[in-house]
Structure 1
Amino acid sequence: MTTTTPQQAPQAQAKRQHDVVIMGGGLAGLTLALQLKRRFDDIDVLVLERRSHPVPHAAHKVGESSVEIGAHYFDTVLDLKPHMQGEQLRKFGFRFFFSEGRRDIDQVTEIGASRYLSVPSYQIDRGIFENYLAEEAARRGVRFVDHALVRKIELSEDAHTPHHLSWTQDGETHDVAARWVIDACGRAGMLKRKLGLAEPNAHDANAVWFRIGERITLDDWSDDAEWRARCEPQARWLSTNHLVGAGYWVWLIPLASGSHSVGIVADPRYHPLDTMDTFEKAMDWFAKYQPRLFDELDGKRHLLQDFAFFKNFSYGCKQVFSGQRWALTGEAGLFLDPFYSPGSDFIAIGNTYITDLIAHDRAGHSVTARAQLYDQIYHSFYESTLALYQDQYGLFGDPEVLPVKVIWDYTYYWGVLSQIFFHDRLTDLSLLGSLKDELQHSQRLNIAVQAMLRAWSGASQKRNPAVMLDQASLPWFAELNRSMNDTLDDDAFVARIRASVAQLRQLAEEIRERALECDPTLDDSALRLLLEENRPSRAAGEAAMLFDAPSPSPSRNTAELA
Structure 2
Amino acid sequence: MTAAAQHDVVITGGGLAGLTLALQLKQQFSDIDVVVLERRSHPVPHAAHKVGESSVEIGAHYFDTVLGLGLHMRGAQLRKFGFRFFFSEGRRDIDAVTEIGASRYLSVPSYQIDRGIFENYLAEEAERRGVRFIDGATVRRIDLADDPRSPHRIEWTRGGETHALHARWLVDACGRAGLLKRKLGLAQPNAHECNAVWFRIGERITIDEWSDDPAWRTRCEPQARWLSTNHLVGAGYWVWLIPLASGSHSVGIVADPRLHPIEKMDSFDKAMDWFRTWQPRLFDELDGKRHLLQDFAFFRRFSYGCKQVFSADRWALTGEAGLFLDPFYSPGSDFIAIGNTYIADLIARDREGLALEARAQLYDQIYHSFYESTLALYTDQYALFGDPEVLPVKVIWDYTYYWGVLSQIFFQQRLTDVALLGQLRNELQHCQQLNFAMQDFLRAWSAVSGRRNPPVLLDHAALPWFAELNRSLTDRLDDRAFVKRLRDSATRLDLLATEILERATHDHPALEAGRLRAVLQELPAATLGDGPRESMLFAPA
**TM class, shorter-length:** over 0.9
How far apart are 1:522 and its partner, in Å?
1.1
Paired residue type of 2:39: R
Query: Could you tell me which residue of structure 2 aligns to residue 63 of structure 1?
Result: 52
Say if 1:459 and 1:518, in contact at 8 Å, map to a contact too. no
Query: Could you tell me which residue of structure 1 aligns to residue 273 of structure 2?
Result: 284
Query: Could you tell me which residue of structure 2 aligns to residue 313 of structure 1?
Result: 302
Task: Indicate the SS of the match to 2:467.
Answer: helix
Say if 1:156 and 1:163, in contact at 8 Å, map to a contact too. yes
Say if 2:48 and 2:116, in contact at 8 Å, map to a contact too. yes
Whole-angstrom distance in 1 between the partners of 2:47 and 2:26 = 28
Say if 1:150 and 1:167, in contact at 8 Å, map to a contact too. yes
Query: Could you tell me which residue of structure 1 aligns to residue 538 of structure 2?
Result: 559
Say if 1:238 and 1:253, in contact at 8 Å, map to a contact too. yes
Whole-angstrom distance in 1 between the partners of 2:417 and 2:333 = 21
Q: Call closer, same or farther: CA 1:561–1:165 in 2, change over 3 Å.
A: farther
Query: Could you tell me which residue of structure 1 aligns to residue 457 of structure 2?
Result: 468
Query: Could you tell me which residue of structure 1 aligns to residue 215 of structure 2?
Result: 226
Q: Call closer, same or farther: CA 1:291–1:176 in 2, change over 3 Å.
A: same
How far apart are 1:561 and its partner, in Å?
6.9
Task: Indicate the SS of the match to 1:533.
Answer: coil
Whole-angstrom distance in 2 between the partners of 1:191 and 1:514 = 48
Q: How does 1:75-114 map to 2 (within 5 A)?
A: 75-114=64-103
Q: Do residues 399 (structure 1) and 378 (structure 2) align?
A: no
Query: Could you tell me which residue of structure 1 aligns to residue 412 of structure 2?
Result: 423
Query: Could you tell me which residue of structure 1 aligns to residue 165 of structure 2?
Result: 176
Task: Indicate the SS of the match to 2:240.
Answer: strand
The superposition leaves residues 298-318 of structure 1 with CA deviations (integer Å, 9 ceiling, x where unpaired) of 000000000000000000000
The superposition leaves residues 386-440 of structure 1 with CA deviations (integer Å, 9 ceiling, x where unpaired) of 0000010000000000000000000000000000000000000000011011000
Paired residue type of 1:366: A
Whole-angstrom distance in 2 between the partners of 1:276 and 1:447 = 32
Say if 1:403 and 1:561, in contact at 8 Å, map to a contact too. no
Q: Relative to structure 2, which stretch is displaced further, 499-508 or 163-172?
A: 163-172
Q: Of 151, 162, 175, which residue of structure 2 is paired with 1:186?
A: 175
Task: Indicate the SS of the match to 1:331.
Answer: helix
Query: Could you tell me which residue of structure 2 aligns to residue 3 of structure 1?
Result: none
Whole-angstrom distance in 2 between the partners of 1:375 and 1:43 = 24
The superposition leaves residues 177-197 of structure 1 with CA deviations (integer Å, 9 ceiling, x where unpaired) of 100000000000000000000
Q: Of 507, 510, 515, which residue of structure 2 is paired with 1:526?
A: 515
Q: Of 482, 487, 493, which residue of structure 1 is paired with 2:476?
A: 487
The superposition leaves residues 321-353 of structure 1 with CA deviations (integer Å, 9 ceiling, x where unpaired) of 000000000000000000000000000000000
The superposition leaves residues 503-524 of structure 1 with CA deviations (integer Å, 9 ceiling, x where unpaired) of 0000001111111112111110
Q: Of 525, 541, 545, which residue of structure 1 is paired with 2:528?
A: 541
The superposition leaves residues 439-461 of structure 1 with CA deviations (integer Å, 9 ceiling, x where unpaired) of 00000000001111111101110
Whole-angstrom distance in 1 between the partners of 2:204 and 2:321 = 32
Whole-angstrom distance in 2 between the partners of 1:136 and 1:482 = 30
How far apart are 1:558 and its partner, in Å?
1.4
Q: Of 177, 196, 211, which residue of structure 1 is paired with 2:185?
A: 196
Q: Relative to structure 2, which stretch is displaced further, 435-444 or 13-22?
A: 13-22
Task: Indicate the SS of the match to 2:442.
Answer: helix
Q: How does 1:196-215 map to 2 (within 5 A)?
A: 196-215=185-204
The superposition leaves residues 32-83 of structure 1 with CA deviations (integer Å, 9 ceiling, x where unpaired) of 0000000000000000000000000014311100000000000000000000
Paired residue type of 1:336: L
Q: Scaled by the length of structure 2, what TM-score is found?
A: 0.99
Task: Indicate the SS of the match to 2:539.
Answer: helix
How far apart are 1:17 and its partner, in Å?
0.3
Task: Indicate the SS of the match to 1:134.
Answer: helix
Whole-angstrom distance in 2 between the partners of 1:220 and 1:469 = 20
Query: Could you tell me which residue of structure 1 aligns to residue 347 of structure 2?
Result: 358
Paired residue type of 1:418: S
Paired residue type of 2:536: N
Whole-angstrom distance in 1 between the partners of 2:135 and 2:522 = 55
Task: Indicate the SS of the match to 1:250.
Answer: strand
Paired residue type of 1:512: L
Q: Of 294, 300, 308, which residue of structure 1 is paired with 2:289?
A: 300
Say if 2:3 and 2:164, in contact at 8 Å, map to a contact too. no
Whole-angstrom distance in 2 between the partners of 1:263 and 1:281 = 13
Say if 1:456 and 1:518, in contact at 8 Å, map to a contact too. no
Query: Could you tell me which residue of structure 2 aligns to residue 7 of structure 1?
Result: none
Query: Could you tell me which residue of structure 1 aligns to residue 338 of structure 2?
Result: 349
Paired residue type of 2:304: Y
Q: Which runs of 5+ in 1 are unaligned?
A: 1-9
Say if 2:400 and 2:493, in contact at 8 Å, map to a contact too. yes
C-alpha root-mean-square deviation of aligned residues, in Å? 1.3
Paired residue type of 1:99: S
Paired residue type of 1:235: A
Q: Scaled by the length of structure 1, what TM-score is found?
A: 0.95
Q: Call closer, same or farther: CA 1:154–1:15 in 2, change over 3 Å.
A: closer
Q: Do residues 45 (structure 1) and 34 (structure 2) align?
A: yes
Say if 1:435 and 1:494, in contact at 8 Å, map to a contact too. yes
Whole-angstrom distance in 2 between the partners of 1:181 and 1:78 = 21
Task: Indicate the SS of the match to 2:358.
Answer: helix
Task: Indicate the SS of the match to 2:71.
Answer: helix
Q: Relative to structure 2, which stretch is displaced further, 160-169 or 119-128?
A: 160-169
Q: Call closer, same or farther: CA 1:326–1:561 in 2, change over 3 Å.
A: farther
How far apart are 1:533 and its partner, in Å?
2.1
Say if 2:4 and 2:166, in contact at 8 Å, map to a contact too. no
Paired residue type of 1:523: E
Paired residue type of 2:528: G
Q: Do residues 510 (structure 1) and 499 (structure 2) align?
A: yes
Query: Could you tell me which residue of structure 2 aligns to residue 4 of structure 1?
Result: none
Query: Could you tell me which residue of structure 2 aligns to residue 258 of structure 1?
Result: 247
Query: Could you tell me which residue of structure 1 aligns to residue 312 of structure 2?
Result: 323
Whole-angstrom distance in 2 between the partners of 1:541 and 1:201 = 37
Q: Do residues 161 (structure 1) and 150 (structure 2) align?
A: yes
Paired residue type of 1:458: A
